[in-house]
Amino acid sequence: MNRYVLGFVVVLGATVALLSGACGSAPTYKVPLRGIAYSGNQSPIVCLSGLNFRAKENSSISWHAMKIAAMGNMVPLTGKNTIIGGLNIKNKSWNEASSTIDFVSSSTDSEDPIRDARINSFVFGVPEALPFRFKVTKITGEDLSMKIDESRNVVVQGRLSLGDQTTEIEMPALIKHMPDLISITPASLFKLNVRVLSPIVNGVNLVDKISQLLSFVPGVDMQDEVTIDFNLEFEPSCLD
């Protein structure tokens, strides 16, 4: 019978010591917020999961616009996109957190497949080298300390990139820090102006893209502001 002697100390920021053990080929199982990942034979592998998080599959960005139909009637237009990305935290402070989130353009869901395809082609369709991306550059607020089971009202600052365009974003957010999950949702209504002709915070010039999109539905227009909602959930991620 094989014997394994494992010695380890599981404390964030502490040293993990590994004594003898054979490595198996089984998949790796990850343990949230403990700084350790286990291989199939339960041999621990060093993991910085207390500092790095990945977006869960159900994380998404929703958008809501008002379409101006015939006779001036206002019709709501809604949709959402899933996202992929991660969150990195340093020194147990939100002030030193950073994140890069890529929108999965092909995941557009407005409950109309034809419209989804047009939105992907004329609005979200960008070269692979220029992804549809939001990069968090700074988080501000009165109390930015990280404490389990506490919420923080903050302002998230970052850069939104869509093709060759980049705009500065500032949006209020509510961060909930749970033992094995970080949740980020809007703290109040957030609107993005999509028809600005010169760079402004929370504004982007999609005039030409929107015109191409609306050319398929003569007589229809849409308002300049789009309400953005988001449900971002991050789970601990190992770096191995």
Q: Mind listing the pLDDT tens digit for each residue in 64-97?
A: 999 998 778 899 999 999 999 999 988 788 988 9
The pLDDT value recorded for residue 84 is: 94
Q: How many independent structural domains does the chain possess?
A: 2
Asked if residue 117 and residue 11 are part of one domain, the reply reads no
Is 33 in the same domain as 64? no
Residues 75 and 23 in one domain: no
Give 141-171 pLDDT, tens digit per residue: 998 988 888 899 999 999 999 887 899 999 9
Q: Are residues 35 and 137 in the same domain?
A: no
On whether both 4 and 102 belong to a single domain, the answer is no
Domain carrying residue 91: 52-236
Q: Does the pTM exceed 0.75?
A: no
Say which CATH number the domain at 156 has. Answer: 2.40.128.110
59: tokens are 């994380």
Q: Does 141 lie in the same domain as 199? A: yes
* Same-domain pairing of 212 and 126: yes
pLDDT tens for each residue of 14-73 = 333 333 333 443 333 333 333 334 334 444 444 444 688 999 988 999 999 999 987 788
Q: Are residues 39 and 57 in the same domain?
A: no
Closest to 152 in 3D by CA, of 187, 190, 179: 187
| Same domain membership, residue 174 and residue 64 | yes
